[in-house]
Structure 1
Amino acid sequence: MFRSNRHPSAGSDAGICVTRRSSRRAFTLVELLVVIAIIGVLVGLLLPAVQAAREAARRMSCSNNLKQIGLAMHNYASVYRGFPASRVNIKTPDFEAGWQVMLLPYLEQTALFEDYQTNLTWSHPDNLPATEKSVPAFLCPTAPSERTMPTTAIMEERDIDYGSPRFGSSDYAAINNIRRSCWTVNNSEMPGRIQRQLPGALYSKDHKDPRVVGRGIRLSEILDGLSNTLMLVEDAGRPELYINGRLGQNPDGGEVWSGTFFVEEGWGWADHQDSISLDFADPITGLANKTDKSAPYDVNVRGSAVMNATNDGEMYSFHPGGAMSLRCDGSVQFMNESIDGLLMAALATKQGREVIEEE
C-alpha cells in the first residue's frame, strides 16, 4: 500500500519559509559627492551667463537713456538753433543752470523744470523740491542706485549749509575741455598753438554772458563734424568717488577733500559743475594728470588711462570693459576702455580739425 509522508492536516505550503529581498539600494557617499560636484559645475557655468544677460539688458537701457537725451538735445536745438551749453552762470539777470536743467522740458520733465528756479543757485534750499528728485534718463542702471551724500562739513565747502540734502544723481556728463596732458601722456603735440586745453562740444567760453542762454552752442561751431564729436560720456557713481570699480579715498583733493570718499563736483543732475575736463589718469591710484594754468602749460604726468580709472572728473562707468557715449549727431556708441588716447582726444574736441580714423 502506498503511504504519503505528508501529514494529512498540513496545507500545501506547510513547512516552507519564504524570504524576500528588496532590489532598491541607497546612494553611496562617492555618488552623492559626484552629483553635488556636477551641480556645482552647472551653477558655476550658469551664473556668469545670467550675469552677462542682466548686464546686456542694463547696457541696452543705458544706451536708450543716451538716445533719449540725444533726441532731446536735437529738439532743443530746433527751438534755440543750438545745443544747450554745458553750464551757464551769469549775473544781471541771475541765471544758473547746467545742460540737464535746460533739457528737462524736452525729456517730458516740464513740471520739474518749472519747479527749478534758475535765478537761484542750483544748491539753494528753495530749489531742493526739484533737485532732490531723480530723473530716470540721467541714471545708468549698472551704476549703484544707493549713494551716500557728502558730509555736512564737506557740503559747507560748497556753501550748502542747511540740513543734509540728498540730490538726484546724474551718471552722464558733458566734456568741457580736453587738457594738454591728454596729448603729452601719449607722446604727441597738442593741435594748434600753445594752449592749455581745447573745448568739448558743449563748452562755451561765454558761459557768463546772458546771451548764451538763448543762443546755446551753434552746430556750426562743431568744426570736426557732428558724427566725429562726443557730446556726452558716462561719469557714473557720483557723488561717491570710485577708483577701479571700488569706493576709494580722494587721493588728490587738498586739505578739504583728500582722504574723503567723495568727488568735488557733480553731486547731482542740477549741479551746474557736473561737466568734466579730461586729463587722463593713473590706472592704479586714480590720480589724474595735471596741466599748469599758465604758459608754457607744463604737465604733471601720472598715467595714461583714458577711462574707468576714476570718476572724479574723468570718463567712468560700471559696464565691464568700457563706457557708453553720445555723439553730436545723436548716435550712441559703447567705447572700449582700451581706446587709443589720441583717438579719444580727437573725438572729444569739437575744433581740433583732426582726421579721425576709427576701426
Structure 2
Amino acid sequence: MSDSSDPLVPGNPYADTMPVEAQLVQPKRNNVGCIVAVLGVGFFGLLVCAGLLLPAVQAAREAARRMSCSNNIKQIGLALHNYHVAYNQLPPAYTVDEDGNRLHSWRVAILPFMEQQALHQQIDLSKPWDAPENAAVASIVVPAYACPSKVGDPLMTTYVAVVDPSGMFEGAIPTKFGQVSDGLASTILVVETENENEVHWMSPEDIDLETLLERSENDSHVGGGNVLLGDGAVKFITNSIERGLLEALVTKDGGEDYTGL
C-alpha cells in the first residue's frame, strides 16, 4: 500500500510545497575520471607530435649550419684569390724563420683579405704563433674559421690545407694558380677535416694527404665535409668518395677530368 506521506508519490498534497531538490534528487556524476582521461590522451598526442617533429627540426637546423659553414669556406676562398691577385701567388702553408722553424699559418696570412686587417696588424710575424707576444691574438676567435656545426673550442678550426708536394700547398713554398695543369675546378684548395684533426687557427699545422685519405666518421656534418676547389666553388664530399678520386683532386697535375662532386 502506498505511503501518502511520500512527496514523490503522485497525488501527495505536500509535493508542491517541497523544495525542488527534495522532489527530484539526481545522482551526482564524477567528472574527474573523464578529465584525467582527456588530459592523458592530449599529453600522449603532444609527445607523438614532438617525436615526429624533432627530427625534422634538427635536420633543418643542421642544414642551416651546413650552409653557414659553406659560406665560411667561400669567404676563405675569396680571400685566397684576392691574396693571389695581390702577390701573384698563394700564401705558403706556413711561414718559417731563418732556421726553418714554423711560425704562422696561411690562415694568418689571409686575414687582411677577410676584413681582419686590424687583427693581422697585432700579430708579431717574426715570432711563433704561440709566443707570449702573440698570446692576446691567439685568444681571439675568428668567426669565419669556426664551423657552426663543430662542438668544442671555437679557437680550433677544421678548415685546413692538404700539405703535399703534389698539392696546392707544398709547405713553405708558395704555389701559383698557373702551376695547376688539371684546372682549378678539379683541384682542392682547402678541406673541412674531421674534428680529431682540428688545429688552432693560427697554428702552422694542417693535414697531409694520407690523413685526408683516411677519412673517418667523426665529422662536424653527418657523412662528410665541405671542400674548397681552386676556382672558389664549395662542394660537399661524402666519406664514401673513392680514395683514388680524392687523391687525384688534391694533386695539381693528376690528370683527372672531374668537375663535379
Structure 1 residues 317, 21: CA separation in 2 closer, same or farther (over 3 Å shift)? Answer: same
What is the match of residue 277 of structure 1? 208
Letter in 2 for 1:226: L
Letter in 1 for 2:216: N
Q: Deviations over 1:66-118 (max 9, x none)?
A: 01111111111110112212112141899832110100001111111111111
What is the match of residue 4 of structure 2? none
Alignment counterpart, residue 112 of structure 1, candidates 116, 119, 122: 119
CA RMSD between the two structures: 2.9
Letter in 1 for 2:83: Y
Alignment counterpart, residue 188 of structure 2, candidates 221, 225, 230: 230
Instruction: Answer with 62-71 or 87-96: which moved more.
Output: 87-96
What is the match of residue 325 of structure 1? 227
1:14 aligns with 2:18: yes
What percent of counterpart residues are identical? Answer: 33
Alignment of 1:41-190 (within 5 A): 41-91=48-98, 96-146=103-153, 168-177=155-164
Alignment of 1:289-328 (within 5 A): 306-309=214-217, 317-328=219-230
Q: In structure 1, list runs of 5 or more residues that go unmatched.
A: 148-167, 178-197, 243-262, 282-304, 310-315
Letter in 2 for 1:169: M
Structure ranking higher in helix proportion: 2
Alpha-carbon deviation of 1:41? Answer: 2.2
User: 1:357, 1:80 → 2: CA distance?
Assistant: 27
Alpha-carbon deviation of 1:234? Answer: 1.1
Verify the 8 A CA contact 2:186 2:256 in the aligned structure 1: no
User: 1:339, 1:13 → 2: CA distance?
Assistant: 95
User: 1:357, 1:100 → 2: CA distance?
Assistant: 26
Structure 1 residues 75, 24: CA separation in 2 closer, same or farther (over 3 Å shift)? Answer: farther
Letter in 2 for 1:234: E
Q: What is the TM-score normalised by the length of structure 1?
A: 0.62
Verify the 8 A CA contact 1:67 1:330 in the aligned structure 2: yes
What is the match of residue 169 of structure 2? 202
Structure 1 residues 146, 120: CA separation in 2 closer, same or farther (over 3 Å shift)? Answer: closer
Structure 1 residues 71, 358: CA separation in 2 closer, same or farther (over 3 Å shift)? Answer: closer
Structure 1 residues 323, 226: CA separation in 2 closer, same or farther (over 3 Å shift)? Answer: same
Structure 1 residues 112, 280: CA separation in 2 closer, same or farther (over 3 Å shift)? Answer: closer
Alpha-carbon deviation of 1:356? Answer: 2.8
Higher Cα radius of gyration: 2
Alpha-carbon deviation of 1:23? Answer: 6.4
User: 2:16, 2:257 → 1: CA distance?
Assistant: 107
Count of residue pairs the alignment pairs up: 248
Secondary structure of the structure 1 residue equivalent to 2:151: coil
Q: What is the TM-score normalised by the length of structure 2?
A: 0.83
What is the match of residue 337 of structure 1? 239
User: 2:100, 2:210 → 1: CA distance?
Assistant: 34
What is the match of residue 256 of structure 1? none
